[in-house]
Amino acid sequence: MHSGGGALMIELIERRKNRHGKVSRGRPPKANAIRDSKGKARGEADVMETVLNQPHRRCWPIERKPNGDITDLRKDAKAETHHGRYALSKEITEPMYKAGDNYRKAHVKYTAALAVPDSLRRSSGGSGVTPDATAKRNVEKFTDAFNCLDKRAAQTIAHVLFRDQPVPFGEWVHYRRGLIRLAQHYGMGE
């Protein structure tokens, strides 16, 4: 026989009691829902407030530009990744940021191209371009960009762009050099 099984059941029931002492049923209520006078959920709380309170966004100041405009850097999409935060903090230039972003997008297309199953390699419905030709083009574009990098720069850039990790200690030189080469490859100057 199981001893203490009743005590466990009572404990579970006690945990499920709401503020009025009644056992709640169904799903627990949404924590950030806006409720009307009857207690019914009527939409979500301000999503932007939640976004701005995320730890990786809290440190960004509200920036006042010389012409008087105010920019809240916490709302900038760049604050979402390490690479973008380096651009916001002016550790890398805008062309370097864009080159890295283009390289990341090329990598996404490259990996997708390598994962195309053989059964899908047929005409794409009248466009005249087969998935196989598109896949080849995506592989060539990424390979061309990859070949302009040296080994250390490629490793460091992969660490930051593809894994969203901070630049490893002592690797800033390789990260910046790789971004400069990518900017030149993509014709963005630098």
Residue 32 counted as domain residue: no
Whole-number pLDDT of residue 122: 47
User: Would you say residue 136 lies in a domain?
Assistant: yes
Query: Considering the domain boundaries, does residue 174 fall inside one?
Result: yes
Averaged confidence pLDDT in the chain: 75
- Is position 171 within any domain? yes
Distance CA 104, CA 39 (A): 46
Give residue-wise pLDDT tens across range 49-89: 666 666 655 555 556 666 666 566 666 667 778 888 888 88
Residue 60 has a pLDDT of 57
- Domain range for 143 is 94-185
Q: Is pLDDT above 80 for 140?
A: yes
Mean pLDDT of 178-185: 94
Across 15-42, average pLDDT: 68
Residue 183 CA to residue 95 CA, distance in Å, equals: 6
Question: Is the pLDDT assigned to residue 125 strictly greater than 60?
Answer: no
The predicted structure's pLDDT at residue 123: 42
The sign one gets for the Cα dihedral 114, 117, 122, 128 is negative
pLDDT at 73: 61
Provide mean pLDDT across the span 19-44.
68
- Number of domains into which the chain is organized: 1
Q: Assign 103 a pLDDT band (cuts: 50, 70, 90).
A: very high
Cα(159)–Cα(165) distance, integer angstroms: 6
Mean pLDDT of 164-169: 88
Comparing 146 with 59, the larger pLDDT belongs to 146
User: Residue 90 is encoded by which pair of tokens?
Assistant: 């002016």
Say yes or no to pLDDT of 1 above 60: no
Q: Are strands 62-64 and 70-72 parallel, antiparallel or unpaired?
A: antiparallel
Pairwise pLDDT comparison (94 vs 82), residue with the higher score: 94
54 inside domain: no
- Tokens at 7, concatenated: 């005590």
Q: Which residue has the higher pLDDT, 101 or 118?
A: 101
**Does residue 73 lie within any of the structural domains?**
no
